[in-house]
Chain A
Amino acid sequence: MINGSHGISMLSRLGINFIAITLGTTVMSCDSRQARDGSQNIVYWTAPSVELSRFEKKVVEEWNSSHPEARITWNTIPAGVTSEEVILTAIATRTGPDISSNIFGGFAAQLADAGVIVALDTLPGFWDLMETRNMANIIRDNWFYKGHVYIIPVYVNPQLMWYNQSILDKHGITELPRTYSEFFTLLDKVYIPQKVYGLTVDISSKWFRRWFDYLTLYAAASGGEPYLDVNESEAFFDNKAGLAVTEFIAQIFKKGYAPRFEIQDGFKKGIFLASIKGAGDIVRTGRMYPDLEYVIAPLLVPDYYPMDAPVTTLAESKGIALFNTSQNKEKAWDFIKWYFSDRHDSLWLEITNYLPAREDLTTNPIFIEYFSDNPNMGIYAAAFEQSVPLVMTSQTVEVQTLLNRELWQPIIFGLKSPLKASRDANTAIERILKSGP
């Protein structure tokens, strides 16, 4: 029989033992990346997308079958509103991967500032890889941050205009608009209040949505000029191009050509004449709305834009980064070098329908058959030559949050004039750039 004090002391010991065992198991499990057979385990995270996962699964299986000494444990980035927040939480809690793809330039800059990712250009064979993949100029022109390259872009997603073919046919329209004025003239014909709108405009305040509307239109209106000078802490949202874009969006809402509420898949359901979309939308649209017919065209430009000048667009891009916390950097870098190859890029395009980030998309024979089978993707591949990337700054989220707050939302709800909204956005963003991350 156990008396009271013995019972308590035994329970205390049990409690302490339980906690010790739990903590011990947790600590031991932290070193699980070294497998029992001595092989090294590399944790690799990718975008939570069905198409991308099909590609990654295939490639990782291929690597693992030929590299038993450095096996890849592949997972999609755990569920969350944005991949960035999930990756950050994982880094903060020391549960992050060795390698992750789906990282955009601004996020890579944040990670680089914090010293958690490797400067890839310091690793052996980096420039050979860039030359082999035909992306050396892309990297030199756009992917340097504070003197180093921290991310290798996997794909690019330039944005173009889509027009609903049946609406165009219904009104006998054969010539597509080039400028804002031509677009408004066209909308005067096709707009039916509450039934047919002009342009899908995202009214949400999610910071990343501005890549696909304001900043894309700015790239076209400015001929590809950057919207920020990070080194000088300058913003250019109140210049000629910025004002033209803001005025355009203000007019769209003033004239009722876009609603101030969300309509799910409005373009695809034929409720909107036009929409700005990326190459990634082609397959999704084909799968969900197989009967939808549309025409792809360059972005609209302001009336002052020269007739003979090519129209630039913005190409959102995501890439792969190697984390400093990795215990197996050498093997992980071997995997990254192996990952980027002609064969894999060809397979990538075939499976994911996203454009690989390389300069020879329209000239390399390995892609010719794909683009002849998928002419709409060919339009995007050609547009990539006229595209610019996002400005690389570790303050991307803050900049675009302020762009939403000072310009985008007040313009949609008609609370500010385009001039005031542009100037307010400029002032607020320059202030945040000067204060630093």
Chain B
Amino acid sequence: MVIPYILFTIIFWVYPLIWGILIAFKKWNIISPVTEFVGLDNFIKILHDPLFWISFKNTLIFMVVFVPLSIICSLMVALLLNRIKLLRSFFSLGYLMSYVSAGVAYSIVFRLLFSGDGLINSWLGKVGITIPWFSSPKLAMVSIAFIVVWKFLGYYSLIFLAGLQSIPSTIYESAEIAGASKWMIFRRITVPLLNPSFTIILIFAVILSFNIFTEPYMITGGGPLDSTQTFMMQIYYQTFTALHAGYGSSFAITVAIISFTFVFIVKKTIEKDMIYS
């Protein structure tokens, strides 16, 4: 019974992983059968590649905006959804629409909406303001982060909502009887008991920050001044545009190691065992 799953894992996970690791030590242009073993050259080249460090910096900028903003917004939405009884599923599904939307399609829509003469700037222009959302090197990555927050708002809210609904109501009732204020209940009961939700969302958000691709690729193409270049865009560029598949693979492995390190740190720092007592 387990054979199909083992086969699936071997074909679609183990084989590509081993193959990816092997080509990371080679020079290969993806379309030629000829490969050349280069040892650790590709990994050494990464450390001297300015685009690697630019992508790293951009990922950190993205993370600094995206992680807190997505957590705060989705927690607020979850708290609101938790209070309403009528049409809760309807609103939950509504927020989830952005998550199931095609990345390419909404990226084009956002690019048109927020362009120099787009709808948003046309409105702002009436009060004499023009915001270079995607054309300012300082603002472009922040704007991309806003779009990704919009996309994941519904999904993260659902995780928080599930967490909120798993907290026993008796704990809240006891706190109210003891005279705790609403803020104190939120700070001392809701937030600590939502720790599993916070942990999982933080891990998802950190992984996502390293994997961001569609939005910057479609909207800014990595510009202006490489301010929206990301690791995934570099891997794609090196592999499929510049035809340096070996280098692209070593790039991917390096990014995976960094990403896992971040996830490990987040997990160790945030995660706590939950005991309702």
Measured CB to CB, the residues of A under 8 A from B are 8, 11-12, 15-16, 18-19, 81-82, 84-85, 88-89, 91-92, 110-111, 113-116, 203-207, 259-264, 266, 271, 397-398, 401, 404-405, 409-410, 412-413, 415, 437
In the assembled complex, the CB of B276 is this many whole angstroms from the nearest CB of chain A, namely 38
B162, CB-defined interface residue at 8 Å: no
Interface centre among B4, B115, B241 (most CB of A within 10 A): B241
Q: A19 contacts which chain B residues (CB < 8 A)?
A: 4, 7
1/0 contact string of B204-227 vs chain A (CB within 8 Å):
000000000000011011111110
Q: How large is the interface on B (under 10, 10 to 19, 20 to 34, 35 or more residues)?
A: 20 to 34
The one of B221, B222, B241 in contact with A84, judged by C-beta atoms closer than 8 angstroms, is: B241
Q: A113 contacts which chain B residues (CB < 8 A)?
A: 29, 32
Q: Known contacts A262-B115, A263-B115: does B4 contact A116 (CB below 8 Å)? A: no
Contact A260 B135 (CB under 8 A): yes
Kindly state the separation between the CA atoms of A7 and B268 in the bound complex, as whole angstroms: 43
Kindly state the separation between the CA atoms of A22 and B30 in the bound complex, as whole angstroms: 26
Kindly state the separation between the CA atoms of A85 and B243 in the bound complex, as whole angstroms: 10
The one of A88, A261, A263 in contact with B240, judged by C-beta atoms closer than 8 angstroms, is: A88
Contact B31 A91 (CB under 8 A): yes
In the assembled complex, the CB of A50 is this many whole angstroms from the nearest CB of chain B, namely 18
Kindly state the separation between the CA atoms of A235 and B120 in the bound complex, as whole angstroms: 42
Interface centre among B30, B136, B217, B242 (most CB of A within 10 A): B242
Contact B117 A263 (CB under 8 A): yes
In the assembled complex, the CB of B216 is this many whole angstroms from the nearest CB of chain A, namely 11
1/0 contact string of B223-261 vs chain A (CB within 8 Å):
111100000000001001111000000000000000000
Q: B134 contacts which chain A residues (CB < 8 A)?
A: 261-262
Q: Taking chain B's interface residues, is the majority helix, strand, or loop, or is none over half, making it mixed?
A: loop
A-B contact pairs, 15 of them (CB 8 A): A15-B4, A85-B241, A88-B31, A110-B243, A114-B32, A115-B32, A204-B223, A207-B241, A259-B116, A261-B115, A261-B132, A262-B115, A405-B226, A409-B225, A410-B225
Name A432's closest neighbour in chain B (CB-CB): B242
Kindly state the separation between the CA atoms of A320 and B179 in the bound complex, as whole angstroms: 80
Contact A8 B1 (CB under 8 A): yes
Q: A84 contacts which chain B residues (CB < 8 A)?
A: 241
Q: B225 contacts which chain A residues (CB < 8 A)?
A: 409-410, 413, 415
The one of B32, B112, B135 in contact with A261, judged by C-beta atoms closer than 8 angstroms, is: B135
Name B30's closest neighbour in chain A (CB-CB): A92
B18, CB-defined interface residue at 8 Å: no
Q: A91 contacts which chain B residues (CB < 8 A)?
A: 31
11 more A-B contacts (CB under 8 A) besides A12-B3, A116-B31?
A: A8-B1, A12-B4, A15-B4, A84-B241, A92-B30, A113-B29, A115-B32, A116-B32, A205-B220, A260-B132, A262-B117
Kindly state the separation between the CA atoms of A18 and B4 in the bound complex, as whole angstroms: 9
B163, CB-defined interface residue at 8 Å: no
Kindly state the separation between the CA atoms of A263 and B242 in the bound complex, as whole angstroms: 29
In the assembled complex, the CB of A150 is this many whole angstroms from the nearest CB of chain B, namely 14
Name A90's closest neighbour in chain B (CB-CB): B31
In the assembled complex, the CB of A199 is this many whole angstroms from the nearest CB of chain B, namely 15
In the assembled complex, the CB of A268 is this many whole angstroms from the nearest CB of chain B, namely 12
Measured CB to CB, the residues of B under 8 A from A are 1, 3-4, 7, 29-32, 112, 115-118, 130, 132, 134-137, 217-218, 220-226, 237, 240-243
Kindly state the separation between the CA atoms of A75 and B131 in the bound complex, as whole angstroms: 42
Interface centre among B31, B112, B137, B241 (most CB of A within 10 A): B31
Kindly state the separation between the CA atoms of A264 and B115 in the bound complex, as whole angstroms: 8
In the assembled complex, the CB of A146 is this many whole angstroms from the nearest CB of chain B, namely 15
Kindly state the separation between the CA atoms of A406 and B30 in the bound complex, as whole angstroms: 27
Contact B221 A204 (CB under 8 A): yes
Name A81's closest neighbour in chain B (CB-CB): B217
Kindly state the separation between the CA atoms of A114 and B4 in the bound complex, as whole angstroms: 37
Q: Known contacts A15-B3, A19-B7, A204-B223: does B31 contact A114 (CB below 8 Å)? A: yes
Kindly state the separation between the CA atoms of A16 and B3 in the bound complex, as whole angstroms: 8
Kindly state the separation between the CA atoms of A261 and B7 in the bound complex, as whole angstroms: 51
Q: A266 contacts which chain B residues (CB < 8 A)?
A: 117
Interface centre among B3, B29, B116, B243 (most CB of A within 10 A): B243
Q: Which 10 A-B pairs have the closest CB atoms?
A: A261-B116, A205-B223, A15-B4, A261-B135, A114-B32, A114-B31, A8-B1, A263-B117, A261-B132, A91-B31
Q: B31 contacts which chain A residues (CB < 8 A)?
A: 88, 91-92, 111, 114, 116
In the assembled complex, the CB of A33 is this many whole angstroms from the nearest CB of chain B, namely 20
Q: B241 contacts which chain A residues (CB < 8 A)?
A: 82, 84-85, 207, 397
In the assembled complex, the CB of A116 is this many whole angstroms from the nearest CB of chain B, namely 5
Q: Known contacts A12-B1, A263-B117, A437-B243: does B224 contact A205 (CB below 8 Å)? A: yes
Q: A262 contacts which chain B residues (CB < 8 A)?
A: 115-117, 134-135
Q: Known contacts A410-B225, A413-B137: does B7 contact A264 (CB below 8 Å)? A: no
In the assembled complex, the CB of A96 is this many whole angstroms from the nearest CB of chain B, namely 9
Kindly state the separation between the CA atoms of A91 and B31 in the bound complex, as whole angstroms: 6
Q: A397 contacts which chain B residues (CB < 8 A)?
A: 241-242
Q: A204 contacts which chain B residues (CB < 8 A)?
A: 220-221, 223
Kindly state the separation between the CA atoms of A88 and B32 in the bound complex, as whole angstroms: 11
Contact B224 A437 (CB under 8 A): no
Q: Known contacts A11-B1, A15-B3: does B226 contact A205 (CB below 8 Å)? A: yes
In the assembled complex, the CB of A48 is this many whole angstroms from the nearest CB of chain B, namely 15
Kindly state the separation between the CA atoms of A424 and B32 in the bound complex, as whole angstroms: 32
Name B240's closest neighbour in chain A (CB-CB): A85
In the assembled complex, the CB of A106 is this many whole angstroms from the nearest CB of chain B, namely 11
Contact B115 A203 (CB under 8 A): no
In the assembled complex, the CB of B22 is this many whole angstroms from the nearest CB of chain A, namely 16
Name B137's closest neighbour in chain A (CB-CB): A413
Contact B7 A114 (CB under 8 A): no
Kindly state the separation between the CA atoms of A346 and B221 in the bound complex, as whole angstroms: 38
